[in-house]
Amino acid sequence: MQRKYTILSILLVVLALGLVILPKKTNKTETDPKVLLSALAEKSRFLTTDLVSKRIIENDPTLLLIDLRPADQFKAFALPGAINIQPESILSDSNSELLKQLGKDIVLYANSDLASEKAWLLCARYVNYSRLYIMKGGLNEWYNTIVMGTDVAATASSAEFDLVNFRKAARQYFTGAGQTTEKTATEKTPVKITVVRKAPKSSSGGGC
Amino acid sequence: MKTIKNDGSFYLNPYLGGVLLGVVLMLSFYLSGRGLGASGAVKNTVAATVNTVAPKHVENSAYYSQFAGGDKKPLNNWLIYEVLGVLAGALFSGILFNRLNFKVEHSPKITSRRRLIFALAGGLVFGFGSQLARGCTSGAALSGMAVLSLGGYITMVAIFGTAFVVAWILRKNWI
Amino acid sequence: MIGPLIQSGFIPQAWDNIIAVFLGAAFGFALESSGFSSSRKIIGTFFGYDFVVVKVFFTAAITASIGLLYLDYLGLVNFSLLYIQPTFMTSAIVGGIIMGIGFSMGGFCPGTSLCAAAIGRIDGMVFFGGMFIGVFLFSESFPFWEKMYYSGSQGPKMINDALGISAQLFTLFLVIVAVGMFYGAAWVQRKVKKVEY
């Protein structure tokens, strides 16, 4: 009886010792170009400005906005809660720590898509592809859709009406403008925007 | 190999049981990316109940609103399904090893009534603590230890350390 | 097949809850068959007549740790996708102390009380019922605890980072400590008067 346990104990210690002795894996493994290419072709990494606005308004705790524009532009205006990171320094230690945060959907944006696309490629090795997004069209698009807003033709579908109503409500949220009766209208017909979220919120269960 | 007495007194070798539990825990992380738990299911059930009775209250509460209210479905949760599985698995084991019967297990020196009162109070205190520590022995301590979480180890030491002291204070209840 | 399989999309999300039932069943079976459905067996750890809790608990923890680290080494699991309990220092300690008191009073922890309830132990059912009241009381009085609940936040911190050693080295120490504890437990059990239960 005792002998059996001695053997088992030794086995356990040897297994654990094996872990210590095994050579350390290098952290920065080369990413397979094919994988990267197929990830690039995947369009789900784009989030629409409407979706991002909706999540900002809802105070979604899993949203992490990263502003890639120069600091002076960031100071002048940024989306609420965004963090300003320069594209050059996005791979620095403290920033990659930020990217590795669990349970966050990281959304990159700049003025257009160009800087975000570059940064997306650089970050892709640190962050799970399915949690790394680009706000489609950047702040220009955001300005056009949310701040400017568009009127809709009377023949438009109800989905389009909902969208326009949502944008009006969002505009009011972000700029404080356009306080009319639209708000009550949006409350009556809640906007249904399907949230495309590939990875589940690992933070959801909350432990035990 | 000696034959197993099937009178309900047979238990697995604790080390075999431990390895089995460890493998299940590892599989849980490998498949679902999370550890096992129990108290989270209680939390969600309570939140769901309160949500049905007083939805306004849930909206206003800083705690409930984290996981109930709005379009959140606290009952359609991984942990709830897992806990249903636990019941089924334990029942299966109970049938297999012939331990299935209704009784109050207590030390011969105390009455059933005293045992049940202490069980109720213990459950109440445990439930309270598990919310504060964000998990119980399985969710916070065991699953936390498996992924080497600092919080898991601290919770484990705090639970067992305190339980040791309190067990001696309450030893008349047990031995 | 890089795990966790659900998060990385190898298994469709819809399977998550079905897998949960099976994992739970295996969990329940392991607990019950090791004797965690008996409060007197569990509490024996603290009086030295039955160390089943220590044995099962630590064997499980080191098996899972070693297993996960090997899977990580083989590149089969993406550690960053695993749910690591965030560390909140104050609430972990205070909550742990409160749970310790409940543990010794009730003789169960939530998972084991479920197992006991499943095989008809009335004390297990009562304990589980008590938990609902406890959770309810906590939730209702949450504003009172809110500050403590969020204080001492350190994020999902790993213990080996806190100690400044590698995860592998920490696991080795853990295994050595655990094996030492198993032998210690066997020694104490020989010394202590046997309690019939």
C124 — pLDDT class (breaks 50, 70, 90): very high
Beta strand C153-155 with C87-88: parallel, antiparallel or unpaired?
antiparallel
Given a cut of 90, is residue C11 above it in pLDDT? no
**Optimal mutation site among A8, A10, A202, interface C, most CBs of chain C within 10 A:** A202
Task: Find the mean pLDDT for residues C13-19.
Answer: 87
Given a cut of 60, is residue A28 above it in pLDDT? no
Task: Determine whether the interchain pair A200/C7 forms a contact, defined as Cβ–Cβ distance below 8 Å.
Answer: yes
Which amino acid is it at C52?
A: V
* Tokens standing for residue A174: 């972000």
A159 — pLDDT class (breaks 50, 70, 90): confident
Given a cut of 80, is residue B171 above it in pLDDT? yes
Alpha carbon of A116: minimum distance to chain C alpha carbons (Å): 23
Contact between C140 and B130 (Cβ < 8 Å): no
Task: Name which of A88-102, A137-151, A191-205, B34-48 the model is least confident about.
Answer: A191-205
pLDDT at A186: 43
What is the C-alpha to C-alpha distance for residues A118 and A125, in angstroms, rounded to an integer?
13
A207 — pLDDT class (breaks 50, 70, 90): very low
The predicted complex's ipTM stands at: 0.91
Strand partners, C141: none
> Measured between CB atoms, which of C7, C66, C83 is closest to A199?
C7
A198 — pLDDT class (breaks 50, 70, 90): very low
Alpha carbon of B34: minimum distance to chain A alpha carbons (Å): 8
More confident residue, B117 or A168: B117
pLDDT at A178: 53
pLDDT at C26: 95
Of all helices (H) and strands (E), which one includes residue B20?
helix B14-32
More confident residue, A17 or A202: A17
**Optimal mutation site among C10, C51, C105, C160, interface B, most CBs of chain B within 10 A:** C105
Alpha carbon of C85: minimum distance to chain A alpha carbons (Å): 6
In chain B, whose CA is at the least distance from the CA of C90? B133
Contact between B32 and C6 (Cβ < 8 Å): yes
Q: pLDDT averaged over chain C?
A: 89
| Nearby residues of C60 by Cβ (< 8 Å), 6 or more positions away | B18, B19, B21, B22, B25, B142, B146, C30
Task: Name which of A115-124, A196-205, C177-186 the model is least confident about.
Answer: A196-205
| 3-class DSSP assignment, residue C158 | strand
The closest alpha carbon to C31, from B138, A43, A196, A144, belongs to B138
- Chain B neighbors of C156, CB-CB under 8 A: 149
Cα dist from A11 to A14, A165, C106, C176, whole Å: 5, 66, 36, 11
Task: Find the mean pLDDT for residues A47-52.
Answer: 84
| 3-class DSSP assignment, residue B97 | coil
Task: Show which of residues 106-165 on chain B sit within 8 Å of chain C, judged by CB atoms.
Answer: 106-107, 115-116, 118-140, 142-165
pLDDT at A144: 82
| Beta strands in A11-131, from DSSP E residues, in sequence order | 46-47, 63-67, 83-84, 105-109
- Give domain limits for chain A: 2-20+27-138
Task: Find the mean pLDDT for residues B103-111.
Answer: 87
Q: Give the gyration radius of chain A's Cα atoms.
A: 23
Q: pLDDT averaged over chain A?
A: 74
Given a cut of 70, is residue A181 above it in pLDDT? no
Task: Determine whether the interchain pair B38/A202 forms a contact, defined as Cβ–Cβ distance below 8 Å.
Answer: no
Given a cut of 50, is residue A187 above it in pLDDT? no
Q: pLDDT averaged over chain B?
A: 88
Contact between C92 and B132 (Cβ < 8 Å): no
> Measured between CB atoms, which of A16, A202, A208 is closest to C171?
A16
> Considering only CB atoms, which residues of chain B are within 8 Å of chain A?
15, 33-34, 37-40, 43, 66-67, 77-79, 130, 134-136, 138-140, 143
Considering chain C, what percentage of its residues have pLDDT values greater than 90?
Answer: 49
Task: Name which of A119-128, B12-21, C185-194 the model is least confident about.
Answer: A119-128
Beta strand A63-67 with A105-109: parallel, antiparallel or unpaired?
parallel
Given a cut of 60, is residue A205 above it in pLDDT? no
pLDDT at A177: 62
- Helices C39-47 & C89-106, crossing angle to 10 degrees? 110
C116 — pLDDT class (breaks 50, 70, 90): very high
Contact between B135 and B39 (Cβ < 8 Å): yes
Given a cut of 70, is residue B3 above it in pLDDT? no
Alpha carbon of C8: minimum distance to chain A alpha carbons (Å): 8
Task: Find the mean pLDDT for residues C26-52.
Answer: 91
* Tokens standing for residue A37: 């290419």
Query: What is the 3-state composition of chain A as percent helix, strand, coil, each rounded to the nearest 5?
Result: 50, 10, 40
pLDDT at A115: 82
A–C interface: beta-carbon pairs under 8 A: 67
Given a cut of 70, is residue A30 above it in pLDDT? no
CATH number belonging to the domain at A2-20+27-138, selected among 3.30.70.20, 3.40.250.10, 3.10.20.600, 3.30.70.1560: 3.40.250.10
pLDDT by residue (tens digit) across B41-99?
999 999 889 988 888 888 888 888 888 877 778 888 889 999 999 999 999 999 999 88
- Give domain limits for chain C: 26-191
Given a cut of 80, is residue A35 above it in pLDDT? no
Task: Name which of A106-110, B26-30, C120-124 the model is least confident about.
Answer: A106-110
* Tokens standing for residue A139: 């702040």
